[in-house]
Chain A
Amino acid sequence: MSPSVRLQEMIRVIRGARTQGEERGVIQRECAAIRAQFRQADNGTRSHNLAKLLYVHMLGYPAHFGQMECVRLIASPRYNEKRVGYLGAMMLLDEKQDASLLITNSIKNDLSHSSQYVQSLALCTLACMGSAEMCRDLAPEIDRLLRASNSYIKKKAALCAVHMVRKVPELGELFTPAARSLLSEKNHGVLHGAVVLITELCERNPDTLEQFRKAVPELVLMMKGLVMSGYSPEHNVAGISDPFLQVRILRLLRILGRNNDTASDAMNDLLAQVATNTDSSKTAGSAVLYETVLTVMDIKSESGLRVLAVNILGRFLLNNDRNIRYISMTSLQKIVQTDHNAVQRHRGTIVDCLKDQDASVKRRALELSLALVSAVNIRSLMKELLLFLSSCPPELRAHTTSGIFNAAERYAPSQRWHIDTILHVLTTAGGDVRDETVPNLIQLITTATELHCYTVHKLYRALITDISVQSLVQVACWCIGEYGDLLLRGECEETEPVQVTEDDVLDALETVLQSHMSSPATRGFALTATMKLSTRITHNVDRIRSIVSIYGSCIDVELQQRAVEYNALFKKYDHMRAAVLERMPVIDKSSPGHTNGESAGGTIKELEPTKLTQEIVFPQEPSNQVCDLLDLLGGSGEPFQPSPSLSSTAPGPASSTAGGDLLDLLGGLDVTPAPPSVTVYEKNGVTLKLQTDTQTDTGMTVTLTATNSTDGDITGLTLQAAVPKSVQLQMKAPSGDVIPAHGLGQVTQTVLLNNPNKVSLKIRVRVCYTSQSSVCQDTVQIDSFPSTAW
């Protein structure tokens, strides 16, 4: 009876077990028998017992008691015992086990065995689980085998050397000479091993890389031979001669040609030849073409070759085989930044792949589409992306929404389009958007002043349809609160107006307030919006008053606080209510109220910007703070943190009076031409002059005056300043942000400086303005000041 039947018998019995418990029982019995057998002397069945144990191990049961048996079997002189012993070593022992050291000696002996099959076992095991110590120990043996043995052993020795170099990189030097000579072998197995070894050596050591660059012509010839050779039965795979070797050679050429013009030139023709002659109807050919494309894109190839490579990828995109489409998109993703135009040509196909069934392909297509968005194709591409969003798998939604928002922000052709796009995303996938979407959208809406009516209509319609998407509901509430009067007016240019009454609008807000779907934040938005409407509607103020007073006893503390404050606004401060709830100014993107999680949340924050547009005397500062600024003297290239100025926000006449009032309030800051002034900036007809006036020992007033000698007005003027760290800076509101043409007017802005440490004073001023519809921005550094204070 053939010995291994016992193993097969055991397997049959185990498989026959009907339950897990039964299987466990069988295996326990077998293992007990095996353990008993191991303890006995050699009776010729050791290898079969170990084989049984290995089977049990594969089923997931513990088999560590077989480790020593492996060691013993490896030391046996019998081939079949060695075979199973080495197999066991590879399965049960790894370099972390102590027992693995015990086989080092056996391996060493077997490496010099007269039978190549025994040598092969040793080499295989060493390459599979050899520890660093074992590698160091046996490296000279491997080197010897690399030079003087038959091709069967040489190819295995080469890969064993690869393993050793991975474990102990210093051994690379030992193997380099042998590796070089292996390139002249004819045997494909040896050549393959040699190329893998050389690749490993070059990747780890730049000097070795230099050395092997000289081998490029030889490799090119080798590759040519493979490509142009006729049918070779031994190595042919689907019409390609030895694709495994071809791919490895191409990979090595890639490493050698990287960042090196000479080497890249030498392989140019070959790559073109491979790219054109390789038949890609089967996977083997596609694998070779794929590697060729990767190589072309990575080395310093000429542009014609690069275009050829991108076209191959484009062809892959149309391939029926899903794997090849996936591969092509991964590669296109890598090169979309560097060869953007070439990839753009295949945009249509890429967008079609968004509709593919396979999730991996979809993901790749999405990433590529987002990378291909540009100002030119934004409209059409966004249509496709929005279509994709409505049917995309849930795991991709968050990524898609953030990608869409980024693209919209960078390339929006118009504000209306931008707002529409964001609203569309919120309606389709509002639950998967980032938290900052709500404040971002609100900021966008405030800047699009002509579209307020349109926006509030759209949002109202969305609100009455569905109140489950929190982000959308929050924005809608905010808009209705702000622009409710536009809604009630019943007319709108951009879209069909709604005919609503005040009650309808209040109903909508109340539904949000009372719905259990609304989050606490959303209810806060709704309450504030209701309150704001009290100044924008005429008839139902009492209703609002009653809503607000009800929420004065709400369990939610935030809502309760708001309601109580609003109540107070109705009762004690009714004279201030209109001013407090006035229309908000355009929110600047960098202002503090904007970057909070809730943009318009909190009564306090809302009040602050509006305070400035009133004539009321509040003892307060504009929201500019005294900032700590970066060290100018260090000359670092970081963007400095300017003190924000209010020039972009306040509507015309109010601001100049406000500015004037503030200056008056703080007293004694006469902006007279008497102190000497210096021109610090003169460009595009805009002149900026600087005057200083020393007030105290450490304090100084600097006045910046801007004039305009061009034919057109300069608008949107902002000045920002930065000073060294120890100096304190306070910027006052500018007199305005429009400089009339022809020098008919000027804009002034005062800056207060305090220099307690009396450091050498420098100031950096950034000027931004719009002249003849183009935005200009410049920075000037002023190192010396007209007054010699210090």
Chain B
Amino acid sequence: MMHFLLLFSRQGKLRLQKWFTPIPEREKKKIVRDMTTMVLGRKPRSCNFLHWKDLKIVYKKYASLYFCCGLDAEENELLALEVLHRYVELLDKYFGNVCELDIIFNFEKAYFILDEFLLGGEVQETSKQVVSRSIEASDMLQEAEIDNSDYDLELGWP
């Protein structure tokens, strides 16, 4: 399973952090520091895989953002690269030519998209279209609710 997923900029500023295991706040900060130092210190054409404690770290740079995840030792690193890529594709589809600013100003949407793609550290849906459709439907539900802000939404959509 994936233990955590971090997005940070070239300057080491955190843009998104998703933790799939319970870790104390101080630990989390330390892990983020370690990851940023390790990943930002890599030479440009290095291999995308690292070892850190007993985890495999897989990272990929997309424009100015680093996507970094920590995996169990038995995970398939090449597939993890595909997972990161799929997430980027989903963000791209949603925001239309996504850039770092989109993720900064709409961070909660980035989380919502992530939560439709990964669950409990595992991939939950392997089809890009299904994930995109779910996000759209959730957004529509939210919009409808805001429009109908007079009454609560009890009945659901199929």
Contact = CB atoms under 8 A, between A and B. Distances in A.
A115 B153 contact: yes
A117 B105 contact: no
A247 B76 contact: yes
Contacts of B76: 247, 251, 287, 290-291, 294
Nearest to A11: B105
B78 A188 contact: no
Contacts of B16: 58
Contacts of A159: 119-120, 122, 124
Contacts of B116: 120
A619 interface: no
A182 to B, nearest CB: 14
A58 B119 contact: no
Nearest to B127: A234
Given A128-B20, A192-B126, A358-B45, A80 B108 contact: no
Interface string A4-27: 000010011001000000000000
B120 A163 contact: yes
Contacts of B19: 94, 128
B14 A58 contact: yes
Which of B82, B119, B128: most chain A Cβ within 10 A?
B119
A487 B68 CA distance: 62
B59 to A, nearest CB: 11
Nearest to A50: B108
A79 B153 contact: yes
Contacts of A186: none
Contacts of B63: none
B96 interface: no
A118 B146 contact: no
A358 B77 contact: no
Contact of A189 (B46, B111, B127): B127
Main secondary structure of the interface of A (DSSP, over half): helix
A652 B83 CA distance: 74
Nearest to A238: B82
B142 interface: yes
Interface string A122-149: 0110011101000000000000000000
A114 interface: yes
Nearest to A80: B142
Interface residues of A, number: 76
A284 interface: yes
Given A58-B107, A115-B157, A358-B47, 15 more contacts: A11-B104, A79-B153, A83-B138, A95-B22, A96-B24, A114-B156, A117-B156, A120-B116, A123-B119, A243-B82, A290-B78, A294-B76, A322-B47, A326-B47, A361-B47
Interface string A244-255: 110100010000
A114 B155 CA distance: 6
Interface of A: 3, 8, 11-12, 15, 44, 51, 54-55, 58-60, 77-80, 83-84, 87, 94-96, 113-118, 120, 123-124, 127-129, 131, 150, 152, 155-156, 159-160, 162-163, 166, 188-189, 192-193, 196, 234-235, 237, 242-245, 247, 251, 283-284, 286-287, 290-291, 294, 322-327, 357-361
B54 interface: no
Nearest to B89: A237
Contacts of A8: 105
Contacts of B149: 44
Contacts of B104: 11, 15
Interface size class of B (residues with CB under 8 A): 35 or more
B49 interface: yes
Contact of A155 (B47, B107, B125, B129): B125
B150 to A, nearest CB: 12
A188 B127 contact: yes
Contacts of A59: 14
A322 B45 contact: yes
Contacts of B92: none
A286 B48 CA distance: 15
Contacts of B50: 360
Contact of A80 (B83, B146, B155): B146
Contacts of B157: 115-117
A116 B156 contact: yes
B133 to A, nearest CB: 10
Which of B82, B112, B149: most chain A Cβ within 10 A?
B82
Contact of A323 (B1, B43, B81, B122): B81
Nearest to A54: B108
Contacts of B108: 51, 54, 84, 87
A353 B137 CA distance: 50
A94 B21 CA distance: 9
B93 interface: no
A323 B77 contact: yes
A360 B47 contact: yes
A326 B49 contact: yes
Contact of B123 (A80, A127, A192, A359): A192
Contacts of B74: 251
A696 B41 CA distance: 77
A60 B15 CA distance: 11
A4 B88 CA distance: 23
Contact of B82 (A55, A284, A360): A284
Nearest to A250: B76
A54 B46 CA distance: 34
Contacts of A80: 142, 145-146
Given A152-B134, A189-B130, A124 B49 contact: no
